[in-house]
Structures are given as C-alpha cells and as structure tokens.
C-alpha cells in the first residue's frame, strides 16, 4: 500500500482506519486511537493528536475489552506493552468529559438552549436547534413532546440521550438539567459524532438519528497514525 493510500482522506476530511481487533475498516469517528507512551503503557488518544504510531479500536466496550484480554495492543506494536485493567472505564470517562466540554463550549458560544420552554421557543427561530441533548435519566415524556413540537415545524433534530442530569448539571453549573438543544454548527456535528462513540460504551443509554460521517468510504490506514 502506498503512503498516499494509507493517509487518503475524502473531501470532508474523513479517514478510514482498520480496527486492530475486528479487522473492520471504519471512519476514524467510529474508532478510538491509542498510542504507547515512552514507558510502554497504552494510552487512549481521544482527540487523535498524541505523537506515535496509532492503534485503532472500534468504539465499543466489548471490542476494547477483547483488545485488552487478547493482548492485541502488544501484537500490533510487536513489543510488550502495559495495558491498564480499567482501560474501558478510562475511555468512557474521557469520552464523557469530551462531550461535556463541548456542551459547555456551546453554552459559552451562544449556541446552547436550556430548558423545555426555551427549546420550544427556539423551534420558532430562523436558525432552530438541530440537536437535542436529553438527560439519560430524565422522563421520556418531555423528550417526546419536544420531538412532536419539532415535527410540527417540519424539523427533525437528532437526539443524544447518553449523559445523566447530574453530569449535564455539573458541566453547565445549573441544577437539574434535563433538556438542552444545540443550534447547527461545528459543535452540534462534533457532539453527534462523539455520542456515536460514547454509545458503544453506554449501551443502556439511547441516542437517535446521530449524524453519520459524510462521503464515500476512504482507503484504510491499516492501523497506522
């Protein structure tokens, strides 16, 4: 495989990598990148920016659990690597932190709408929210009413239901956050992608109509950086 084939990206910048466990070739938005630090410990690289040869694993708890149990990281690196027994827990926590940071950024940037009534009003705007962030432990009735109101307006917002009310409340500095919405833009797209990854570690949560990476399937990166 040529270097150009290894690092090929489509017009939207979407790259494909090969999962070291399943062998599947998937967009990198559906995988987690890992690298070995100088001491030989496997480190999750949620942002995909750490130096070193990347080892990509599909963003699912069972797949990462198999990577740890079957020593896939050492096999891929062709040397002995140290893997923390709680790696799955660490990855989930990092994904949650990433999403909460982005929710906070959306609020500071003015693209976040908080509260049931405020979201209903936002559906009337020229630039209505295209993403609902619903507390996973909140009642479903409120979410259903918001979706029904959006449908009446001809809207079809995606829904993320993976973060707890306590997590959202802590991130936003408010009590009892259950309903939030994000207006169209880079953060709503990124939250949708990150929810797709977190959903593989929180199967009890629910996320609906998540944005899929656009464009044709690019060439695989064969597990490299």
pTM for this prediction = 0.83
Q: Do residues 35 and 51 lie in contact, with contact meaning Cβ atoms separated by under 8 Å? A: yes
Question: Based on the domain organization, do 81 and 114 belong to the same domain?
Answer: no
The count of structural domains within the chain is 2
Question: Based on the domain organization, do 55 and 132 belong to the same domain?
Answer: no
Question: Based on the domain organization, do 96 and 200 belong to the same domain?
Answer: yes
Range of the structural domain that residue 24 is part of: 3-88
| Structural domain includes residue 220 | no
Task: Round to whole Å and give the CA distance between 207 and 199.
Answer: 7
Burial (CB < 10 A; 0-12, 13-18, 19+), residue 121, is exposed
Mean pLDDT by 10 residues, the chain (225 residues): 33 76 95 97 95 96 97 97 96 96 96 97 96 94 96 96 95 95 96 94 52 35 42
| Structural domain includes residue 51 | yes
Question: Based on the domain organization, do 110 and 156 belong to the same domain?
Answer: yes
């Amino acid at each position: 495989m040529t270097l150009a084939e290894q690092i090929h990206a489509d017009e939207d910048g979407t790259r494909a990598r090969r999962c070291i466990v399943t062998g599947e070739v998937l967009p990198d938005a559906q995988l987690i990148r890992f690298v070995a630090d100088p001491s030989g410990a496997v480190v999750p690289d949620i942002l995909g920016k750490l130096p070193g040869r990347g080892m990509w694993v599909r963003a699912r708890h069972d797949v990462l659990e198999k990577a740890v149990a079957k020593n896939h990281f050492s096999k891929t690196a062709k040397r002995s690597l140290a893997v923390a027994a709680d790696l799955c827990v660490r990855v989930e926590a990092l994904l949650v932190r990433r999403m909460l940071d982005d929710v906070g950024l959306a609020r500071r940037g003015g693209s976040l709408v908080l509260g049931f009534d405020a979201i209903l009003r936002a559906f009337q705007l020229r630039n209505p929210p295209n993403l609902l962030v619903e507390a996973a432990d909140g009642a479903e009735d409120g979410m259903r009413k918001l979706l029904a109101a959006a449908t009446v307006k001809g809207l079809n917002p995606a829904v993320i239901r993976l973060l707890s009310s306590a997590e959202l409340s802590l991130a936003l500095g408010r009590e009892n956050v259950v309903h939030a919405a994000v207006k169209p833009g880079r953060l709503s797209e990124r939250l949708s992608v990150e929810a797709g990854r977190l959903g593989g570690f929180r199967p009890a949560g629910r996320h609906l109509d998540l944005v899929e990476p656009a464009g044709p399937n690019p060439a695989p990166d064969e597990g490299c950086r």
